[in-house]
Amino acid sequence: MKILVIHGPNLNLLGKRETDIYGTLTLAQIDDKIKALASELGLKVAAAQSNSESEIIGLIQNSDYDLLIINPAAFTHTSISIRDAISAVGKPAIEVHLSNIHRREEFRRKSITAEVSLGQISGFGAESYLLALRAAKTYLSGN
């Protein structure tokens, strides 16, 4: 079972960026945690980060995976084209956020991509990705 993890714009700056909101772990450290848990769960995982909406759509359309875990970052709130790519490909998707988007600014409370996702995990820092991976395993195992 193959999982594709996509990190959206500005998440390459994790560890330096607004650490009070997003924590002090770098993206590389988060990816290491994701890979360690994936191997424990017997899942294959590939992770990619992009600041470009077009590249993210390309990854969603062209990669080989059974389930998508995506933190669309700011595109969560703006991108109909990422939403449509998830819907068009028809693979199950789990939306992840480090921060709890529902207790932040009004504009972050609306997710366009959640409408085409199995569910959303928001507010647990890097742990949000690990919870998503566990949910992915359960879902793909048919439980």
Question: Catalytic amino acids?
Answer: 22, 97
Which residue in the set 1, 10, 44, 63 belongs to the binding site for ligand DQA (CB under 6 A)? 10
Q: Which is nearer to ligand DQA, 57 or 73 (CB)?
A: 73
Any contact of residue 83 with ligand DQA (CB under 6 A)? no
Q: How many CB atoms lie within 10 A of CB 84?
A: 15
For the chain, counts of helices (H) and of strands (E): 5, 5
Q: Which is nearer to ligand DQA, 37 or 123 (CB)?
A: 123
Greatest Cα-to-Cα distance within the chain, rounded to the nearest angstrom: 39
| Euclidean distance between CA atoms 42 and 105, whole angstroms | 38
Count the alpha carbons within 13 Å of 20 in the hemisphere toward its beta carbon: 1
Any contact of residue 99 with ligand DQA (CB under 6 A)? yes
Any contact of residue 70 with ligand DQA (CB under 6 A)? no
Least distance between ligand DQA and beta carbon 52 (Å): 14
Stretch that binds ligand DQA, among 34-42, 51-59, 73-81, 82-90 (CB under 6 A): 73-81
Which residue in the set 50, 71, 113, 117 belongs to the binding site for ligand DQA (CB under 6 A)? 71
* DSSP E strand boundaries for the chain: 2-7, 44-49, 67-71, 93-97, 119-122
Tell me which residue of 142, 21, 1 sits closest to 69, measured CA to CA.
Answer: 1
Residue ranges that bind ligand DQA, judged by CB under 6 A: 10, 71, 73-74, 76, 97-99, 101, 108
